[in-house]
A and B are shown apart, each in its own frame.
Chain A
Amino acid sequence: MSLFFDLLSGSMMITGLVFFVGTVTGMLRFPDFYTRMHAGGKGDTLSTILILLGAAIHVFEDFFYDPLQWGVLLVMVKILAIAAFIMLTSPTSTHALMRAGFEDAHEADETVVDKDQDGPSLEELQSGTWEERS
């Protein structure tokens, strides 16, 4: 059974690391502010939650082999509380920062703007001569 817990927590930690690698790659290589924010907001939250769940399972293993150790269970509940806290606060701060950047008139890169056929051209967008359809 010890192998079972080790495999479970280890695989969760490794999955979290994979998502964190995606976060870092996105934040380093994406072209503009909004796409970098997209990578940083989602991947960071998920990788943090996964690694913390792996740590919680690792702690729970001690309780599993030696029950009535309620202190150990309390530590696991605290780790899960941190995970829930991150799950609430990380999207909140991402939202606040994204709003700040949007109000600050940050530029979007040309390569990420959606160009459909009857939409505005790039020049119309930049000069502000495009009238939005009602």
Chain B
Amino acid sequence: MNGFILGVAMFILVLVGALLYRVWFGPTAIDRIVAANAIGTKTTVLLVLVGLLFDDVGMFVDFALAYGLLNFMGSLAAARYFQRSEKRAEAGLRHPLPVRSKEDAS
């Protein structure tokens, strides 16, 4: 079972590495924050799995809980910081979502 848990943890690590693409190249700031938030959530899982591997879950579970709390507070603070309500009012948008066409995207 230990080998299986190690495999699961490695697979999560590989996928987190793929998510780092979104953190690095994300077109907008909030894309980066969302990807970082997902990585933080998976770090909580990784801490529990590492605890299972080391046969010391009782210690690592506390770390995981504290890390999850910090991650939540961090993403909430970032969301409040990047919420600029006046920008949408300045743009004078009628439709709630501005739409980007194929020509603009290139």
Contacts and interface: CB of A to CB of B under 8 A. Distances in A.
Contact of A126 (B61, B83, B99): B99
A93 B27 CA distance: 20
Interface residues on B, range: 35 or more
Interface in A51-99: 51-52, 55, 58-59, 71, 74-75, 78-79, 81-82, 85-86, 89-90, 92-94, 96-97, 99
Nearest to A9: B1
Interface string B89-106: 001111111111110010
B30 A24 contact: no
A87 to B, nearest CB: 11
How would you classify the secondary structure of chain B's contact residues: helix, strand, loop or mixed? Answer: helix
Contacts of A122: 99, 101
A50 to B, nearest CB: 10
Contacts of A128: 92-95
Contacts of B94: 128, 130-132
Contact of A110 (B8, B38, B68, B99): B99
B12 A113 contact: no
B22 to A, nearest CB: 5
B42 to A, nearest CB: 7
Interface of B: 1, 4-5, 8, 11-12, 15, 18-19, 21-22, 27-28, 30-31, 33-35, 37-38, 41-42, 44-45, 48-49, 52, 57-58, 61-62, 64-65, 68-69, 72, 75-76, 78-80, 82-85, 87-88, 91-102, 105
Nearest first, the 6 closest Cβ-Cβ pairs linking A and B are A96-B79, A107-B100, A100-B83, A93-B75, A89-B72, A128-B94
